[in-house]
Chain A
């Protein structure tokens, strides 16, 4: 088995602080930005943004933690959560800032530290100081009547929006509808920034490049140059801001060193100061400088835009050359390097934002969306690029049990076996991580579907949940739609068999596709689904394109653009299309629910004639009430997608192909490509609450299928059968990513042989065209959930040599027995 390193006391202590963190709402950035905007007045957005960022760089607190080796933060506290007033934090409809509201209502209570604290039950504990609340009131005075992008989009909705929202079949809704989020609410910047460029070039060179252009065009702004002027001017200001920002951290380290009585720590702080001074202008030369430059830029460009989902790119590829050199020169040991990697990713865990409880509940607490990619191939040669840092990242994740950042591990046909088993060991310790990504599908897919060059395709990374992008050269997902924006295919399906009416709210869309009981064969059913699918998915994507048009005009990002390939070359901000690659995309979650609904109609009504279309229609429209026996029959006899059964998999392939076909018809003014994705973004539970009953026996409120996974509990033949089903459609088509979650019983991976089996299985799936998978080794928490909610865990198999049984079929006592056994195997 792969052996993990020891955790140093420094790392253990830092991790403890992070696991027990209380986020503090910090108005410092908001105050600085507010003052800047007041001063800058009517200045155009790109320059305003640059000067405001410059102000922030000059004035922000440079927090240095007592044991930190990698520094950088969002404000006065170790766990500061900043506000973004310029992005609508105090805007329009909000009478009160939501936190102020909670304090006023008495939900947040004053404690001994002088802060108001969130209730003990909060998923992510948070606090705020009374002085901060006062500052927020002052800020609100300025911002309350200022327009922001969200307001502008809401005020300028296209004609079709009313119908789109009326259907409630996508994430676009009308104000007042439950779950409404403004049609533009996620800011831009869901990508991998050009960390590699920042590390290897430094800010001075970028500043000089912008300055040279400005000097050369002094008094000569003709043709396109008039537009480019504001871009290069913004870059000049922003690069200067970055240098000031990093230098000030150097000053802070130096000041802290001066006060420090511990000689060892003093020397550390002095070295950190030297490194910061160096990288404030110049390219990194050592591993330590490289990590610090990486982190400083992360903090700097996140500060420019709220919640940008800034993925970290190919961490092991950017940093290994530096570590290799340091090791050769004998200036660092592997253990010291591991500690630095640990401290880097723990630092990344300090950037959580305070979120309303409902958001924390639906998206899961504690993801900063700094998705990190490791492994893969060398962009130039295509050779396997696994290196010691690849393992170090897995060590960090596994030993520290870090669920954030999400880690994608890229596999290719030459990935060493040791890395495979290290990955499975990691999955065993941290459920769901890493995500196993298959280069052999993704690289050709990017070339064919998105038009990447071979070299850029080989250099891909993963962002957000699953989205595949270029690293430092791609502006891939400017959103413009609500978080988790997608068309809800299970609702589309219900509308297709109900003449265009959503059974949940009775809304009739303009497209009439007939009723299920009028349909005479499965072809007619599919035809209705095809028409409704085109109608809703295209309308949804149109709104996305429309919101993006408005958003891009408002939201320049010079701090980001200075690192993204194509922008400095063209003189265009990322939001103006300056990046080398431009794409966008969406996800469809729950297509397996649609597949099984088609299977039900095909099997029950047409092939076996066990019921009529009228009976099935009536049962679905009655939410199965009064049709319990038919429902049990459907759940029992209909072949289901996910069991390697070609009869059922035909419908899985059909619906996935259709979704891809529709995405192919979509484009925007900036991007020719609309990538289709099959990942859940953990939205399947919420979608289940708003999706009427479906023909597969699902009732209103039950979750829909997750990502590309089969319907919960109906994949009864184990992981190999799931893989066989999921490989029935062409994965190259889904360049916005695929998520396939699999559960493994702990006894499967309890020894080397078992781990080798999981590795072999994954390799076979990848060889058969599978693109992605992730393993959750069943823990006792899962088993307890299965005890409470057996229907969602029907597939959960207990495997003990020569014995197997479905967990939910056992009596409670024996289930408790299994839980006790599971604890042993994991311990």
Chain B
């Protein structure tokens, strides 16, 4: 039998917002949700994807059309030019960038192999359990001094079962604190299986109204909320993450409903604190690396708005942090 592997799109040491202490966060690829504001759109598909970062492109003059020539599908063509400026405002160079014809590209990655500046690269790399655990544990000394550990994030990590389970088991075997950043949109069996190996769940709650949830992120919230309640009853610990998205869930009603759910359905024991995450438009930059389809950016909520949401949540006796 082939060795079990999982698909990773990033490993980030010194993560300080993804659970207690200093952590290394492992981002797994693939997610059943389709949040339009997703700030890591490269996490949505399970398949590896060709990404292109314009700012890294050194120009076809310099690399002599390597990527264009390498593509078996003729999916790469000349694209826009970019002016790089000197400090004094004069033009340093004009860079002929490329453009990826997404309808032709099959993500084979032949161009990325030749692109040394990594303007083109394949997002999504397969790891064995041991290789991933070894890499994620490099900072063990810093985990131990800060009460940190490893966070498995996504995408939706529970879409990559049993890989996620095996990684969590191995980490616990090695005495590492574990956090799982999840939407809980997964069969209860998966939650049940990982629970003994997860010290804290970072659970995303996007909307308490099922119809709105379904309409916006394309899956219902029922299974999410059920899983949360069951897990809480079974002794799970949570940091609840609520992204505050303009025109979607930035209203008092939903904030009250979310806080009420945390307080009454999950309970004080289970909820360590609630993180309110103001929407930001930085996902746009990542979206354009993998797609030509334009994506709309909203205006981030104001500091006053966030403070107001915080007050509502706090009125339920919950501890709240705005990141």
Contacts and interface: CB of A to CB of B under 8 A. Distances in A.
Given A720-B13, A760-B142, A802 B277 contact: yes
Interface string B122-163: 000000000000000011011011111000010000000000
Interface string B44-64: 000000000111101000111
A814 B280 CA distance: 10
B141 A719 contact: no
Contact of A768 (B12, B20, B117, B141): B141
Interface stretch (A185-193, A373-381, A437-445, A751-759): A751-759
B280 A800 contact: yes
Given A632-B116, A720-B13, A802-B39, A788 B142 contact: no
Contact of B18 (A802, A805, A808, A818): A802
A720 B136 CA distance: 12
A789 interface: yes
Contacts of A632: 58, 62-63, 116-117
Nearest to B58: A632
A629 B17 contact: no
A788 B89 CA distance: 10
Interface in B286-323: 286, 303, 321, 323
Contact of B13 (A636, A718, A764): A718
Contacts of A747: 16-17, 323
B282 A805 contact: yes
B231 to A, nearest CB: 20
A809 interface: yes
The bracket for how many chain A residues form the interface is 35 or more
Contacts of A805: 282, 285-286
Interface in B48-97: 53-56, 58, 62-64, 66, 85, 87
B58 A628 contact: yes
B14 to A, nearest CB: 4
A86 B147 CA distance: 60
Interface string B106-124: 0000000000111000000
B220 interface: no
A761 B24 CA distance: 13
Contacts of A754: 16
A795 B35 CA distance: 29
Given A808-B55, A810-B285, A811-B55, A803 B145 contact: no
B40 interface: yes
A761 B22 contact: yes
Interface in B1-18: 10, 12-18
Contact of B281 (A720, A721, A802, A817): A817
A753 B66 CA distance: 48
A710 to B, nearest CB: 14
A658 B12 CA distance: 33
Interface in A785-827: 788-790, 798-805, 808-811, 814, 817-818, 821, 824
Nearest to A633: B116
Nearest to B281: A817
B323 A789 contact: no
A171 to B, nearest CB: 28
A637 B121 CA distance: 13
A671 interface: no
A800 B282 contact: yes
A764 B277 contact: no
Contacts of B148: 757, 760
A718 B15 CA distance: 9
A584 B11 CA distance: 45
A751 B21 contact: no
B131 to A, nearest CB: 15
A628 B62 contact: yes
A809 B55 contact: yes
A793 to B, nearest CB: 12
A798 B15 CA distance: 11
A764 B142 contact: yes
A767 interface: yes
B55 A810 contact: yes
A636 B117 contact: yes
A810 B280 CA distance: 14
B284 interface: yes
B294 to A, nearest CB: 14
Contacts of A670: none
Contacts of A811: 54-55, 285
Contacts of A809: 53, 55-56, 285
Given A637-B116, A801-B277, A805-B286, A757 B16 contact: yes
B276 to A, nearest CB: 10
B145 A790 contact: no
Given A629-B63, A747-B323, A802-B181, A636 B116 contact: yes
Nearest to B181: A802
Contacts of A768: 141
A682 interface: no
Contacts of B321: 751, 753
A764 B144 contact: yes
B13 A717 contact: yes
B244 to A, nearest CB: 12
A767 B140 CA distance: 13
A664 B64 CA distance: 51
B87 A788 contact: yes
A790 B151 CA distance: 30
Contacts of A519: none
A297 to B, nearest CB: 42
A801 B274 CA distance: 13
Given A761-B14, A802-B153, 12 more contacts: A632-B63, A637-B116, A644-B138, A720-B142, A723-B142, A753-B20, A760-B147, A764-B141, A764-B142, A805-B282, A805-B286, A824-B303
Interface of B: 10, 12-18, 20-22, 39-40, 53-56, 58, 62-64, 66, 85, 87, 116-118, 138-139, 141-142, 144-148, 153, 181, 241, 275, 277, 280-286, 303, 321, 323
19 contacts: A628-B58, A628-B63, A629-B64, A629-B66, A632-B117, A748-B16, A757-B148, A763-B145, A767-B145, A768-B141, A798-B282, A800-B323, A801-B277, A802-B181, A802-B241, A802-B277, A803-B280, A809-B55, A821-B280
Pairs of residues from A and B, 4 with the lowest C-beta to C-beta distance, nearest first = A760-B146, A718-B14, A764-B145, A632-B116
Interface of A: 628-629, 632-633, 635-637, 644, 717-721, 723-724, 747-748, 751, 753-754, 756-757, 760-761, 763-764, 767-768, 788-790, 798-805, 808-811, 814, 817-818, 821, 824
